[in-house]
Structure 1
Amino acid sequence: MERDYFRSFNLFSEDEIEEFLKFSEVRLISKNDYFIQEGELCKEVGLVKSGIFRSFYTSDEGKDMTYCFRFPNHMIASYSSFVSGCPSKESMQAITNAELIILKKDAVDELVQNSLNWTKFLKIIAEQEYLELETRFFQLQRDSAAQRYETLVKKHPDYIQNIPLQYLASYLGITQRHLSRIRKEISF
């Protein structure tokens, strides 16, 4: 799976993928455990091999605010913490049992030193993160909660049933009751 993920970028030689795998490690994360918690330094990135994660922050009122989900074949990291070396402003929690391919920051730095392709890869990932953030911003500004839910279901139909309602409602910015009404109205 991870080989196919990296091959899909049409950047890497088989030797470069092997080098990545040599530096990486597999980590199992149990449901409800964390990849990173708010306030920690993010010193690694992960490729989600299986499982689902939610990214959230705690509001001033002490409420969990889910703003992102990560599914298999997605990279996961507290990106701003990873880049800046500052504490994470978010937590990333497994909402199912999960398996990650982990790469420590020093290994990322070494890969970048050894191959321009890894620099290109990191640029692509940064661009994807930006586009995802922009899409999320416009969804919140333009789309109704029903439209946002429908988009999520269409993009990830195999995983949506595994996301607890309270996290879906938080992601959509609505109550669980409103989400239940939306789910009854929308049938796929």
Structure 2
Amino acid sequence: MNEYLKLFNLFTDIEINDFLKLSQTILLKKGDLYINNNEICDSIAFVKSGIFRSYYYSNNDDEITYCFTFPNKLLMAYSSFISQKKSEENIQALTDAEIISIPKATLENLAKSNSNWLRFLKIIAEKEYVELEKWIFNHQKDKAQQRYLDLITTQPEYIKEIPLHYIASYLGVTQRHLSRIRANITY
């Protein structure tokens, strides 16, 4: 988390240490939920270790995985975090995980007392928007095979830990179609 915050070039070491004192380390077991749908996301977390999936339920009550979160990334149900309304998504640990969490209220108090934290929140909002737009474009223009290649290229060390049915859901294909995609790829 310390190194992650330094990447923003906004904070002094003292500000980062103060932030870390206000945060809490949470250990999650494989299968645990960080956020459950119909709960309000009232904190933001940094993934120190582990893999998470974000999913929602379709009108047919099928689980639809739409996002994976890997180490050294932020984790939250962003719409719920911003609006403070109940989340429509679930965020589940796919492996044992360790996160560093800070309550929204604490982060907002930091932003009131130090404009660097306000800039940090602005940058996070911009990054979330860019990621959402990228996801939409990729899911509309790229075929499932290309999205799978992107996933195994950007996260080769973690992809093996994600059950195939979650990857198939993320790609919007059946497990059978995913098997055909994997068979056509030479590693």
> What TM-score does the superposition give when structure 1 sets the normalisation length?
0.97
Secondary structure of 2:54's match?
A: strand
After TM superposition, list the pairs within 5 Å mapping 1:1-188 onto structure 2.
2-188=1-187
In structure 1, distance between residues paired with 2:182 and 2:68: 19
How far apart in 2 are the matches of 1:88 and 1:94? 17
In the TM superposition, residue 161 of structure 1 has moved relative to its aligned partner by: 0.5
TM-score (norm 2): 0.98
Q: How far does the alpha carbon of each residue in 1:65-121 deviate from its partner, in whole angstroms, 9 at most, with x for none?
A: 000000001101111111111100100000000000010111111111121111111
Separation (CA, whole Å) in 1 of partners of 2:45 and 2:115: 20
Any runs of at least 4 consecutive aligned residues in structure 1 with deviations exceeding 2 A, and if so which? none
2:84 and 2:7 mapped to 1: Cα distance?
Answer: 29
Q: In the aligned structure 1, how far is the partner of 2:86 from the partner of 2:182?
A: 37
Note the C-alpha offset of 1:162: 0.6
CA distance, structure 2, for counterparts of residue 187 and residue 163 of structure 1: 19
Report the secondary structure of 1:140's partner residue: helix
- Quote the Cα distance in structure 1 between the aligned partners of 2:21 and 2:106: 10
CA deviation after TM superposition for structure 1 residue 10, in Å: 1.1
Q: Secondary structure at the match of 2:87?
A: coil
| Per-residue Cα deviation, 1:43-64 (whole angstroms, up to 9, x for no partner) | 1110000000000000010000
- In structure 2, stretches of 5+ residues that fail to align are none
Deviations 1:136-186 (A, max 9, x none): 101111100000000111111111101100100000000011111111211
RMSD: 0.8
State the percentage of identical aligned residues: 50
Q: How many Å separate the matches in 1 of 2:113 and 2:186? A: 50
Amino acid at match of 2:142: D
CA distance in 2, matches of 1:185, 1:119: 47
Structure 1 residue 187, shift from structure 2 partner: 2.3
**Distance in 2, Cα, partners of 1:111 & 1:29:** 26
- Give the distance between the partners of 1:141 and 1:80, measured in 2 at CA: 22
Cα distance in 2 between the residues matched to 1:185 and 1:72? 29
